[in-house]
Amino acid sequence: MKTILFISICLFAGIFYACKKSPEIHSLSTEKFGELITDNNVQLVDVRTAAEYAEGHLPGAININVLDEHFDKVAQQLLTADAPVAVYCKSGRRSKKAAQQLIQAGYQVYDLDKGIQGWEKAGKEIIQ
């Protein structure tokens, strides 16, 4: 009986460890995100559509549309896996989706919590 109990506890512990929570998205405030992207090693990605990107984006950002069916492939071609990735969209919804996909692909990802709308509201620079 003790052996069965011991084995059951070990199995439960093993299952619990295997199901451990996956890496989470690091959502940053406008201020913290601004500090992060001053690091030249950080890859800044606007995950909105090309049309939205053309209307205005953060300086130094590249555009990889998360709604494109080839998002993962394009990201893999353009991004370096050993450098952090900072993502943003309009309000923060799409960038969280992109962040999840990038995390699953092995990237360390940071998300601009309130998107470019929050960035603009804070008076930060946007270029066209």
Domain that holds residue 97: 24-121
**Which CATH number belongs to the domain containing residue 30 in this structure?**
3.40.250.10
Instruction: Please check whether residue 59 lies inside any domain of the structure.
Output: yes
Instruction: Please check whether residue 57 lies inside any domain of the structure.
Output: yes
Given the residues 89, 98, 99, 112, the one annotated as active site: 89
pLDDT by residue (tens digit) across 31-56? 999 999 999 999 999 999 999 999 99
If pLDDT is split at 50, 70 and 90, which confidence band does 70 have? very high
Instruction: Please check whether residue 96 lies inside any domain of the structure.
Output: yes
Q: Is 19 a catalytic residue?
A: no
Average pLDDT of the residues of the chain: 88
Q: How many CB atoms lie within 10 A of CB 126?
A: 12
Instruction: Please check whether residue 106 lies inside any domain of the structure.
Output: yes
Considering its fold, how many domains does the chain have in total?
1
pLDDT by residue (tens digit) across 80-110? 999 999 999 999 999 999 999 999 999 999 9
Instruction: Please check whether residue 75 lies inside any domain of the structure.
Output: yes
